[in-house]
């Protein structure tokens, strides 16, 4: 199902999203911060005891989690940009995501409040082995893939490609480890809450990704500085170069 960005149909509230979906617009509210879109639900949300640790939250309200993974809207709390998570998903039956692994090397859990979602998961080691990754130069692991994993015939022809398949319904919670490729199909109209986090198990993956991103930013800055310096040197060289006297050319022509 082709999805439409919410602003394109004037949907700026949850109610507007639901109204657009009722009109048949293929709109999927995907991974939007509860702190912005539904503060009362955020106040009522508690992380399951199995996922109580989040290293990023220990950095505080103005820490890395808000700066690097924040939201462009203003937060109603403490005057800082809101956290991305927990986040809200509202999807109509038949909508689905492409195969991907969440960024920043984070693990996540999702609690389904209504409807049923079908998850198809793959071990992290399967990404490069059989899922046709679309890897970017800075990626420390594959995050996007070309293969349609809901095409059972095509997937079954790939040797050694083992899929974990399951349906998650109201009241269920699913855990996805860091770097695991997954795709999701909404079997019904669904409402779910998700939370990406870093704990002791996912910290090495997070650290590798963050270090690669820092290195990439430094390289970009160095290239930009080199380009400015080169343009400056070229400009100086051009200004120092003696200019030809056009009158001498005219004189030579006349003399000839």
| pLDDT number for residue 134 | 87
Q: Over the stretch 188-212, which tens digit does the pLDDT of each residue have? A: 999 999 999 999 999 999 999 888 8
Give the model confidence (pLDDT) of 211-250 as tens digits.
888 888 888 888 888 775 555 555 555 555 554 444 333 3
pTM of the entire structure?
A: 0.74
* Span 153-178, average pLDDT: 87
Asked whether residue 252 carries a pLDDT value surpassing 50, the answer given is no
- Of the pLDDT bands very low, low, confident and very high (cuts 50, 70, 90), residue 78 is very low
Which residue from 104, 21, 16, 42 is spatially nearest to 67, judged by alpha carbons?
104
* pLDDT grade for 172, boundaries at 50, 70 and 90: very high
Q: What pLDDT does residue 37 have?
A: 80
- Cα dihedral sign for 120, 121, 127, 130? negative
> pLDDT, tens digit, for every residue of 101-124?
998 899 999 999 999 999 999 999
**Predicted pLDDT at 224:** 83
Nearest to residue 82, comparing CAs of 112, 29, 39, 30? 39
Number of Cβ within a 10 Å radius of residue 197 = 22
- Please provide the DSSP assignment of 99-133 as one string: SB--GGG-EEEEEEEES-EEEEE--TTHHHHHS-B
**What integer is the mean pLDDT of 130-134?**
86
Lowest pLDDT segment from 87-96, 108-117, 174-183 = 87-96
Rounded mean pLDDT of the chain? 77
Task: Tally DSSP H helices, then E strands, for the chain.
Answer: 8, 8
pLDDT digit string (tens) for 10-40?
666 777 777 887 887 777 788 888 888 888 8
Per-residue confidence (pLDDT) for residue 138, from 0 to 100: 73
What average pLDDT does this structure show over 85-109?
90
């Amino acid at each position: 199902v082709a999805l439409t960005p919410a602003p394109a149909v004037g949907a700026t509230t949850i109610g507007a999203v639901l109204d657009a979906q009722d009109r048949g617009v293929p709109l999927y509210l995907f991974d939007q911060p509860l702190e912005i879109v539904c503060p009362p639900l955020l106040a009522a949300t508690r992380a399951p005891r199995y996922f109580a640790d989040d290293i990023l939250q220990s950095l505080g309200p103005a820490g890395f989690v808000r700066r690097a993974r924040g939201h462009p809207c203003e937060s109603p709390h403490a005057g800082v940009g809101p956290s991305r998570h927990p986040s809200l998903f509202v999807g109509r039956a038949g909508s689905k995501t492409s195969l991907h692994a969440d960024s920043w090397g984070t693990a996540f859990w999702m609690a389904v409040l209504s409807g049923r979602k079908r998850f198809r998961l793959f071990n992290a080691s399967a990404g490069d082995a059989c899922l046709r990754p679309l890897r970017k130069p800075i990626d420390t692991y594959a995050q996007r893939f070309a293969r349609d994993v809901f095409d059972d015939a095509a997937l079954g022809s790939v040797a050694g490609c083992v899929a974990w398949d399951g349906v998650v319904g109201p009241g269920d919670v699913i855990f996805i480890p860091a770097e695991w490729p997954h795709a999701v199909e909404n079997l019904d109209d669904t409402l779910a809450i998700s939370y990406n986090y870093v704990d002791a198990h996912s910290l090495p993956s997070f650290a590798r990704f963050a270090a690669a991103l820092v290195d990439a930013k430094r390289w970009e800055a160095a290239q930009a500085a080199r380009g400015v310096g080169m343009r400056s040197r070229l400009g100086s060289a051009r200004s120092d170069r003696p200019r030809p006297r056009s009158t001498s050319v005219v004189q030579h022509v006349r003399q000839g």
